[in-house]
Structure 1
Amino acid sequence: MIGRIQGTLLENKAPELLVDVHGLGYEIQCPLSTIFALPATGEIVTLHTHLAIREDAHVLYGFATQKERTLFRTLIKISGVGPKLALAILSGMETNRFIQSIQDQDPGALVKIPGVGKKTAERLIVEMKDKLAQLGSQGAELITPMEALVEKNSRTDALQDAEGALIALGYKPTQASKAVSNVAADGMSSEDIIRAALKAM
């Protein structure tokens, strides 16, 4: 099992990264929360990883913190939730808001995440509530505030990053472009734009 990777960030094409480790390039799938926290390409990055082995592929998932990885591993243990949907959940909703939605038994908030239907939301509430209780006091140790993530400075890069992130979440390019255009303003980071666009959709 590959549990941790440290190397040079060669490419950042959300949600996939290419990380060079002593000449070996690892393709790693990441949630947007991790993407926001990355350094610039060419710099050293450290990721906590989870290796998923399927019949047709070995897929490596990376996370900025062990807390994110813990929540990811908890999610994929739930019936009907695979790695792809788990990434969408981590990308589509702030971690502490997701945990709060589980605690409040609020399926309406969860179905706003692309790929999460009513039945899946209800299953998440039933199964995650018990798992969060086992992991710690109301899952508090899993919270990774979005405010701690790194902001992007360039407006152009922020718009492109936001559009790419929304497309990675499952929205059509035209939907992503329109949503970003409607909410973007001077001084907003890609994180701010994505958050506003998701709220407006």
Structure 2
Amino acid sequence: MIGRIVGTLVEKTPPELLVDVSGVGYEISASMTTIYDLPQLGDQVTLFTHFLVKEDSQTLYGFIDKSERALFRVLIKVNGIGPKMALAILSSMSSEELVANVQDSDVTALTKIPGVGKKTAERLIIELRDKLGQAAKNDLFSAPTVLRQVQADPRQEAEAALISLGYKPQEAAKAIASIPMDSASSEEVIKAALQGMLRK
């Protein structure tokens, strides 16, 4: 089991990362929450990881802190919630917002996450209410604030990231087109687009 990666952040193409560890490049999948908090390319980064092995693939998932990894591990145990959807959920709302929506049985808020329909949202609420409620009491999912990074080519990277999270290309393009692009980074554009779509 690979529990942590410490190395140089070489590439950042949401939701994929490449981290160099002593000359070996690790390809890592991450949520937008983690990507928002990464340092600049070329800087050292520490990611807490979850290594998932299937018959036809091996995937390493990276998280900025243990609390997000813990929430990811809780989510993938829910029937019908795979790693990709778990990353979409973590990318669409903060841990605190997810806990609150589950505790409030807010089906509407959860169905705004790409790939989450009414039945899936109801299942999330039923299966996660007790687990997330106890975790919230223990402050398990409270994450520290880390300095954000600015990236080049924000429009293209933002659109690709939204599509990878489950949004249709037309939805992604429309959401990004409504956001001022002046000096915003791709992470800021993605965050604003997600917030805009979740408010609809």
Q: Structure 2 length as normaliser, TM-score?
A: 0.88
Name the counterpart of 1:52.
52
Highest relative contact order (Cα 8 Å, sep 6+), 1 or 2? Answer: 2
CA contact (8 A) 1:9 1:40 kept: yes
Distance 1:20 1:152, change over 3 A: closer
TM-aligned CA deviation for residue 36 of structure 1: 1.0
Name the counterpart of 2:160.
164
TM-aligned CA deviation for residue 169 of structure 1: 1.3
> Cα deviation per residue 1:93-150 (whole Å; 9 max; x = unaligned)?
222111110111101100000011111100110111111234351x6430337xx354
Name the counterpart of 1:142.
141
C-alpha separation in 2, matches of 1:92 and 1:68: 13
Whether 1:184 aligns to 2:180 is yes
Q: Secondary structure at the match of 1:142?
A: coil
Name the counterpart of 2:104.
104
CA contact (8 A) 1:151 1:189 kept: no
Q: How does 1:61-100 map to 2 (within 5 A)?
A: 61-100=61-100
Q: Secondary structure at the match of 2:78?
A: coil
CA contact (8 A) 2:17 2:28 kept: yes
Gaps of 5+ in 2: none
CA contact (8 A) 1:92 1:169 kept: no
C-alpha separation in 1, matches of 2:102 and 2:124: 7
| 2:160 partner amino acid | G
C-alpha separation in 2, matches of 1:192 and 1:85: 21
Name the counterpart of 2:17.
17
Question: RMSD value over aligned CA atoms?
Answer: 2.1
Distance 1:162 1:60, change over 3 A: same
| 1:95 partner amino acid | S
Structure with greater proportional helix content: 1
C-alpha separation in 2, matches of 1:44 and 1:200: 32
Q: Structure 1 length as normaliser, TM-score?
A: 0.88
TM-aligned CA deviation for residue 188 of structure 1: 4.5
CA contact (8 A) 2:99 2:133 kept: no
| 2:171 partner amino acid | Q
Gaps of 5+ in 1: none
Q: Which moved more, 1:170-179 or 1:122-131?
A: 170-179
Q: How many residues are aligned here?
A: 197
TM-aligned CA deviation for residue 41 of structure 1: 1.8
CA contact (8 A) 2:103 2:133 kept: no
C-alpha separation in 1, matches of 2:56 and 2:124: 27
TM-aligned CA deviation for residue 76 of structure 1: 0.9
- The one of 145, 148, 160 equivalent to 1:151 is 148
C-alpha separation in 2, matches of 1:98 and 1:20: 32
CA contact (8 A) 2:67 2:142 kept: yes
Name the counterpart of 2:120.
120
CA contact (8 A) 1:96 1:144 kept: no
